[in-house]
Amino acid sequence: MSTLIARAEAHSPAVGFGERLAENQRRVFQIAYSVLGNSADAEDVAQEAFLRAYQKFDSLREAEKFRAWVNRIVFRLALNRKRGYRRRLERDTAWQSMESPAMVDGAKEAEQQVMLDRLRKEIERLPAKLRSVLLLSLVEEMDAADVGVVLGIPAGTVRSRVHTARKLLLEVMQ
Amino acid sequence: MKNACERWKDQLRETALTGARTPQFAEHLQTCANCSAELRDLEARRARLDTLLPLVAQGAEPPADFRARVLAAAEAAGKRRRVRRWQAWTLAGAAATAAIVLVVGAVLHRGTTGKIQPEGLAAAQKLAEWRAPSDSLLATPGQEILRTTPKLGESYLNVPMKAVEEE
Ligand SMILES: [Zn+2]
The CATH number of residue A41's host domain is 1.10.1740.10
Do A46 and A40 touch, CB atoms closer than 8 A?
no
Q: Do A26 and B63 touch (CB under 8 A)?
A: no
A173 closest CB neighbour out of B48, B58, B67: B48
A39 in B contact zone (CB under 8 Å): yes
Position B162 scores a pLDDT of: 47
Could you tell me the CA-to-CA distances from B5 to A20, B18, B28 in Å, in that order? 54, 20, 9
pLDDT of B114 over the 60 cut: no
B67 in A contact zone (CB under 8 Å): yes
Whether residues A10 and A83 share a domain: the answer is: yes
Cβ-based burial of A79 (10 A; exposed 0-12, middle 13-18, buried ≥19): middle
Parts of chain A with a pLDDT under 70 = 1-15, 93-108
Q: Do B62 and A166 touch (CB under 8 A)?
A: no
Residue A154, domain member (yes or no): yes
Residue A102, domain member (yes or no): no
Whether residues B41 and B23 share a domain: the answer is: yes
Residue B42, domain member (yes or no): yes
CATH number of the domain that A150 lies in? 1.10.10.10
A166 closest CB neighbour out of B17, B59, B73: B17
Residue A38, domain member (yes or no): yes
Residue B71, domain member (yes or no): yes
CA of B3 from ligand 1 middle (Å) equals 9
The continuous run of DSSP H or E covering B159 comes out as none
Position B104 scores a pLDDT of: 64
* Segment B4-58, tens digit of pLDDT: 899 999 999 999 999 999 999 999 999 999 999 999 999 999 999 999 999 999 9
Position A14 scores a pLDDT of: 60
Q: Do B49 and A18 touch (CB under 8 A)?
A: no
Whether residues B20 and B46 share a domain: the answer is: yes
**Does ipTM top 0.90?**
no
Taking the CA of residue B68 and the nearest CA in chain A, the distance in Å comes to 9
Residue A52, domain member (yes or no): yes
Lowest mean pLDDT among A108-117, B69-78, B92-101: B92-101
What number is the average pLDDT over the span B140-156? 55
The residues, ordered by sequence, that sit 6+ positions from B8 with a Cβ below 8 Å of its Cβ are B25, B28, B32, B35
Taking the CA of residue A170 and the nearest CA in chain B, the distance in Å comes to 6
pLDDT of B82 over the 90 cut: no
Residue B66, domain member (yes or no): yes
Residue A113, domain member (yes or no): no
Whether residues B42 and B67 share a domain: the answer is: no
Residue of A nearest to B14 (CA): A167
Query: Comparing A130 with B159, which gets the higher pLDDT?
Result: A130
Chain A environment of B69 (Cβ under 8 Å) = 47
Whether residues A87 and A162 share a domain: the answer is: no
Do A98 and A89 touch, CB atoms closer than 8 A?
yes
Whether residues B35 and B15 share a domain: the answer is: yes
Residue A114, domain member (yes or no): no
Position B100 scores a pLDDT of: 64
A155 in B contact zone (CB under 8 Å): no
* Segment A141-156, tens digit of pLDDT: 999 999 999 999 999 9
Q: Do B53 and A119 touch (CB under 8 A)?
A: yes
Three-state SS for B157?
Answer: coil
Whether residues B83 and B71 share a domain: the answer is: yes
pLDDT of B147 over the 70 cut: no
Residue B100, domain member (yes or no): no
pLDDT of B88 over the 80 cut: no
Whether residues A85 and A155 share a domain: the answer is: no
CA B135 – CA A36 distance, rounded (Å): 90
Whether residues B73 and B41 share a domain: the answer is: no
Whether residues A48 and A6 share a domain: the answer is: yes
Residue B80 binned pLDDT confidence (cut-offs 50, 70, 90): confident
Domain housing B18? 3-58
Lowest mean pLDDT among A121-130, B105-114, B136-145: B136-145
Q: Do A54 and B74 touch (CB under 8 A)?
A: yes
CA A169 – CA B5 distance, rounded (Å): 22
Give the highest mean pLDDT range of A24-38, B74-88, B139-153. Answer: A24-38
Whether residues B15 and B52 share a domain: the answer is: yes
pLDDT, chain B, mean: 75
Other C-beta atoms lying within 10 Å of the C-beta of residue A162:
18
- Number of domains into which chain A is organized: 2
Position B111 scores a pLDDT of: 53
Position B77 scores a pLDDT of: 83
Residue A147, domain member (yes or no): yes
Three-state SS for B32?
Answer: coil
Q: Which of A77, A92, A107 is the last residue of a domain?
A: A92
Whether residues B36 and B74 share a domain: the answer is: no
Whether residues A71 and A137 share a domain: the answer is: no
Domain housing A152? 126-173
Residue A33, domain member (yes or no): yes
A54 in B contact zone (CB under 8 Å): yes
